Amino acid sequence: MSRNQWIAITIIAVIGLLFAPEILSTLGLAIGSVIEFVISLALSLAVIGLVFFLVMTIFGSVFLGLGAALIALIFTGIGLFWPLLLCVLILYFVFRNTGKTV
């Protein structure tokens, strides 16, 4: 290896040692967020399937079951994404154009 490669490896190693906790915590945050989202999605899909199954079993109508599953899907979507929906709603009210001139 040449001298420039050794210098580059040394600089990368020093930066890696200095910022290792930040790098690992960011990686853990990203992996934890993905796992949390997947588990929430799996549980919400299980609840939607259970609602569809119960309505189909009790009332015997596919359309009623699909309607109940759609309502359950909407409610679980709101439950999962309410912080994002709240931020979008706040941004809408802040930046909407009311047509009034100041």
pLDDT tens readout for residues 43-79:
888 988 999 999 889 888 888 888 888 998 888 888 8
pTM of the model: 0.60
For residues 65 and 59, the answer to whether their CB atoms sit within 8 Å is yes
Give domain status of residue 101, yes or no: no
Residue 102 lies in a domain: no
- pLDDT-derived band of residue 35, with 50, 70 and 90 as boundaries? very high
Does any domain span residue 15?
yes
Domain count, the chain: 1
The letter for the amino acid at 55 is V
Please answer whether residues 66 and 51 qualify as being in contact, where contact means their C-beta atoms are separated by less than 8 angstroms. Answer: no
Q: Is 81 a domain residue? A: yes
84 band by pLDDT with thresholds 50, 70 and 90: confident
Q: Is residue 100 part of a domain?
A: no
Give the residue numbers spanning the domain of 51. Answer: 3-95
Residue 18 scores a pLDDT above 90 = no
- Residue 32 DSSP code: H
Q: Six-digit token pair at 57?
A: 């079993």
